[in-house]
């Protein structure tokens, strides 16, 4: 079986459909249209390409410590390349979970779990080690959780999230607990991919429609990501 080299998966080559035979599941996301506070009748395919572009821009403008951390090789691939593949596949589970939620709202509750399952199969098209594959799958599985936790710091989040996509299992009821304590636990549990989760969430949010539908919440999230990336203790990043 032909293997995909991560560095060859550029946005330009993806748009030219050079990988359609190897990862047809990704191109099927063109058919999946979301409409909610995060997406304005947007295909998951287009959104994902936007996220990839935003991610590259964020990394290029990041301080050297972030770049150095991402250049670290796990087994055969850098953390940056693993993150790029995770970003490519982070919404791969939306085709199976797209749901009409009423009032014209279309979302994908539970797409993270389904996405992790699909990602495991798709990664056979790459030459990743088991450790590298696990990192990618864990990023896909947890990218929604970090959105939810950060959103809980915004007063109107719980009501809108229940209507549009539902809270992920990991944070249901979190609003009744100490936020800082829970967030520290989240960072500790996923410390090996925390940098990746922050970068992906940052790129995901920039590539969303939230800036127009919920500008205050958008700013709340963006400011959080910037603060975290500025203060993250890289000596502890694994």
Burial of 213 (0-12, 13-18, 19+ CB in 10 A): middle
> Quick check: 191 pLDDT over 90?
yes
Q: How confident is the model at residue 154 (pLDDT cuts 50, 70, 90)?
A: low
Q: Among 124, 113, 106, 70, which Cα is nearest to 91's?
A: 113
CA distance 157 to 153: 8
> What does R_g of the chain's alpha carbons equal in angstroms?
17
Q: Are 46 and 32 in contact (CB under 8 A)?
A: no
Averaged confidence pLDDT in the chain: 87
Q: Are 52 and 11 in contact (CB under 8 A)?
A: yes
Helix (H) or strand (E) holding 99: strand 99-102
Question: Quick one: the chain helix, strand, coil %, rounded to 5?
Answer: 65, 5, 30
Q: Which of 16-25, 101-110, 142-151, 179-188 has the lowest mean pLDDT?
A: 179-188
pLDDT at 149: 80
Per-residue pLDDT of 92-104, as tens digits, reads 999 999 999 999 9
Task: State the average pLDDT over residues 182-190.
Answer: 85
> Quick check: 169 pLDDT over 60?
no
pTM of the complete model:
0.88
pLDDT at 158: 52
Domains of the chain: 6-236 (1.10.3210)
> Quick check: 152 pLDDT over 70?
no
CA distance 206 to 214: 13
Tell which wins on pLDDT, 2 or 235.
2
> Quick check: 37 pLDDT over 80?
yes
């Amino acid at each position: 079986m032909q293997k995909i080299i991560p560095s060859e998966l550029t946005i330009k080559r993806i748009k030219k459909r050079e990988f359609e035979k190897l990862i047809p599941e990704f191109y099927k996301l063109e058919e999946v249209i979301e409409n909610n506070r995060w997406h304005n009748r947007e295909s998951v395919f287009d959104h994902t390409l936007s996220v990839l572009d935003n991610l590259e821009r964020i990394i290029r403008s990041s301080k050297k410590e972030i770049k150095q951390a991402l250049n670290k090789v796990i087994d055969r691939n850098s953390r940056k390349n693993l993150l790029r593949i995770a970003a490519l596949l982070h919404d791969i589970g939306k085709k199976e979970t797209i749901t009409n939620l009423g009032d014209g709202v279309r979302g994908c509750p539970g797409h993270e779990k389904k996405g992790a399952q699909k990602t495991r199969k798709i990664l056979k098209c790459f030459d990743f080690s088991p450790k590298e594959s696990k990192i990618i799958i864990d990023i896909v599985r947890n990218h929604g959780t970090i959105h939810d936790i950060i959103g809980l710091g915004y007063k109107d989040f719980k009501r809108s999230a229940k209507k549009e996509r539902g809270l992920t299992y990991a944070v249901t009821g979190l609003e009744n607990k100490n936020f800082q304590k829970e967030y520290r636990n989240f960072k500790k549990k996923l410390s090996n991919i925390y940098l990746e989760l922050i970068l992906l969430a940052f790129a995901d949010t920039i590539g969303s429609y939230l800036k127009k539908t919920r500008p205050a919440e958008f700013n709340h999230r963006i400011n959080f990501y910037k603060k975290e990336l500025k203060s993250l203790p890289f000596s502890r990043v694994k």
